[in-house]
Amino acid sequence: MKDKYIFKDQDITTDVLFKIEQISSIISEKEKITFDDAYTAFVSSNTYNILKRTDNLYWAESAEFIADEYYREKI
pLDDT in tens, the chain (75 residues): 457 899 999 999 999 999 999 999 999 999 999 999 999 999 999 999 999 998 899 999 999 999 999 999 999
Cβ-based neighbour number of residue 47 at 10 Å:
20
What's the sign of the alpha-carbon dihedral 49, 52, 58, 59? positive
Range of the domain at 20: 6-74
| 55 located within any domain | yes
| 27 located within any domain | yes
Q: What is the pLDDT of residue 68?
A: 98
- pTM for the model stands at 0.91
Round to whole Å and give the CA distance between 1 and 63: 22
Round to whole Å and give the CA distance between 35 and 58: 22
Q: What is the pLDDT of residue 2?
A: 59
| 68 located within any domain | yes
Q: What share of the chain is helix, strand, coil (3-state, %, to 5)?
A: 70, 5, 25
